[in-house]
Amino acid sequence: MARPLTAPRRTLRNRSAAIALAGVLCPLAVVIASHSVERALGNRAHDRAAATARELAERYRSGASDDEVREAAAALAPARAQHVRVVTREGRTVFTQDAWDQSPWSEWLVDQLYGPDKKEAQRAWEAERGPLLARAEVAQAAEDAPSSQCYFYNAGNLYICAAAAWVPTMGERSTRLIHVQGSSRRSLTVHFQSTRHLIKLALFAAALAILLGWWTSAQLVTPVERLRSEVLRRANEAVPRAGIDIGRKDELGDLADAFNTVLTALAERNRNNEAFLADLAHELKNPVAAIRACAERLPETRPGETERLQRLAGVLHQSAVRLDGLVSQLLELARAEAGLHNEQREPVALVTLLGALCRNVGEDSRHPSLTVKLQAPSAIEVAGVGHRLESAFRNLLDNAASFAGPGGWVQVEARLQSSVALVTVSDSGPGISPADLPHVFDRFFTTRQEQRGTGLGLSLARAVIEAHGGRIEVASPPGQGAIFTIHLPQARQSSPGSA
């Protein structure tokens, strides 16, 4: 059921404003999200530095040599992007594992996003901090309690964490200091500052975006509302007419043109309906007038005027038969134009149906000496309503036979082409003039001068063919009779395993 036409809701305006606002707030949301990620990365840098220092200290305590601890550091440092040094209490370097030049792929990706300045910044920070043994994390470390410190390095925009652990003398090995250093990619302070600036900018931009979105939506909604008003106004007219113009040359203008096309089609349909009603009244007028005349003369009939009574009875009968045939064809035409939706489709043996119709037309006394030929393969099946298709093809054959005349011929050919059944009906008649060709399938159109038909036969044939998903065409080459071509979908073949 269609939704009633009420006052338009402002959904387009709201959606446009919401989209504009989202476009402003999304960058802010990205910055806030990256701030949260960076905070997590900073904590991670602290924890990982401390973890590496503890693991290497445990190896020393378990009796590992300097070379074995160096191998362990060589495995841990690159994976965690850390700088590891082991020195004696006197400050002599036992070994250094510098992983700043051996960063994992994730660090390489960060370098592509932010610029490859992390390694240089860490080296600069390292040079500024002075001797290793004098640093805070080293001074706070005890033999049984590693210490870690994190620093903001504003010059390099880094958050650096360093961990230190003392390993006591064991055997011939003197005391060792393990120092691990790692960093987060960007300073948290910078993120806090950029977030504050972006919040201020977002508040201003949000108001601007709402106004801009509202203005943009107005440019869309206003012509739509104007178009809606024009369509509703024409819908309330007695005879809807085209001519909607909203002054746009864009997609909305194309939409208005589409409405004009629909209104033009409706106007044409109204004219066709008016013409149909006029033709119907004309067709009904003759038999009704004959019945009325007979009814008026019956009281004037005198006893013994048997011949007059028989003549009046014959007129009444012919008029009644004509009215019955006209009403029956109109009902069939209405059902066919509605699509025959309530009628069951079944496989129809098209060749058998055409063969029976050709024999009946060839033997019809109304068409003396008429030759009717059928050329078709052994079998063609189409999906449809059998008696409706029979009625359509009977009308086509009767039409061809009536124009072929006594001694003429009607040729029917049927074949399959790409899962489509093609049927042509041609005759030896005078053909159809170019002026009449576009009106052949119009209701009540006929060019028969004698034994004039109702003019509904070809209209009914076309409606039935189209209701079956097909189409019908007509041609009349100069010097030849009419040729009707019918296209019907072939019935689907059942698979071998189907019931």
Domain residue ranges in the chain: 12-193, 237-338, 343-489
92 Cβ neighbours under 8 A, 6+ residues apart: none
What is the distance between the terminal CA atoms of the chain, rounded to a whole angstrom? Answer: 39
- The C-alpha torsion from 461 through 467 and 468 to 471, rounded to 10°, is 60
pLDDT at 499: 32
Separation of alpha carbons 320 and 242, rounded Å: 43
Asked if the model's pLDDT at residue 238 lies above 50, the reply is: yes
Cβ pair 125, 156 in contact under 8 A: yes
Statement: residue 227 has pLDDT above 90: no
| Helix-strand-coil split of the chain, %, nearest 5 | 55, 15, 30
Q: Give the mean model confidence (pLDDT) for residues 443-451.
A: 67
CA pair distance 472, 124, nearest whole angstrom: 88
Residue 197: pLDDT band (50, 70, 90) is: low
Would you say residue 392 has pLDDT above 90?
A: yes
> Between 308 and 31, whose confidence is greater?
308
What share of the chain has pLDDT > 90, as a percent? 19
Tokens of 331: 């009902």
What is the b/e burial string over 237-257, where b = at least 16 CB atoms within 10 angstroms of the residue's CB? eeebebebebebeeebbebbe
Mean pLDDT on 28-49:
68
CB burial class (10 A; 0-12, 13-18, 19+) of residue 209?
A: buried
pLDDT at position 349: 93
Under the banding of pLDDT at 50, 70 and 90, the label for residue 495 is: very low
pLDDT score recorded for residue 439: 87
Q: Quick check: do 237-338 and 343-489 share a fold?
A: no
CATH T-level assignment (fold) for domain 237-338: Helix Hairpins (1.10.287)
Local confidence band at 237 (pLDDT 50, 70, 90 cut-offs): confident
Separation CA 248–CA 254 (nearest Å): 8
Question: In the chain, pLDDT over 70 holds for what percent of residues?
Answer: 71
C-alpha pair distances (Å), 88 with each of 66, 125, 170, 182, 467: 12, 22, 13, 21, 98
How far is 481 from 156, CA to CA, in rounded Å? 95
**Helix boundaries (H) for 62-187:** 66-80, 105-114, 118-129, 136-140
Per-residue pLDDT at 172 exceeds 80:
no
Greatest mean pLDDT among 24-33, 39-48, 464-473: 464-473
pLDDT tier at 445, thresholds 50, 70, 90? confident
Note the pLDDT of residue 28.
63
- Residue 167: phi and psi, rounded to 5, are -115, 120
* Domain 12-193, CATH: 3.30.450
158 near 187, Cβ under 8 Å? yes
Distance CA 381, CA 377 (A): 11
Rounded Cα gap, residues 38 and 173, in angstroms: 40
Q: Which of 169, 389, 121, 216 is nearest to 397 (CA)?
A: 389
Q: For 417-431, what is the mean pLDDT?
A: 92
**Contact assessment for residue 366 and residue 404, using Cβ atoms and an 8 Å cutoff:** no
* Range scoring the smallest mean pLDDT among 253-267, 278-292, 380-394, 453-467: 278-292
Amino acid symbol at 19: I
* Residues linked to residue 474 through DSSP beta bridges, in sequence order: 484
**CA-to-CA distance for 461 and 473, rounded, in angstroms?**
11
pLDDT at 82: 84
CB-based burial, 348-361: b 16+ in 10 Å, e otherwise: bebbebbeebbeeb
Q: What angle do CA 310, 316, 319 make, to 5 degrees?
A: 140
φ, ψ of residue 436 to 5 degrees: the values are -90, -15
Which residues touch 478 (CB under 8 Å, ≥6 apart)? 431
- CA separation for the pair 316, 290 (Å, rounded): 7
CA dihedral sign of residues 181, 187, 189, 195? negative
What is the overall mean pLDDT for the chain? 77
The reported pLDDT for the residue numbered 133 is 86
Contact 93, 66 (CB under 8 A): no
- What's the full length of the chain, in residues? 499
pLDDT at 420: 92
Nearest alpha carbon to residue 24 among 227, 204, 215: 204
Torsion sign over Cα 33, 35, 37, 40: negative
Query: Which residue is associated with the tokens 């097909």?
Result: 470
* Domain 343-489 fold: Heat Shock Protein 90 (3.30.565)
Residue 274 banded pLDDT, cuts 50, 70, 90: low
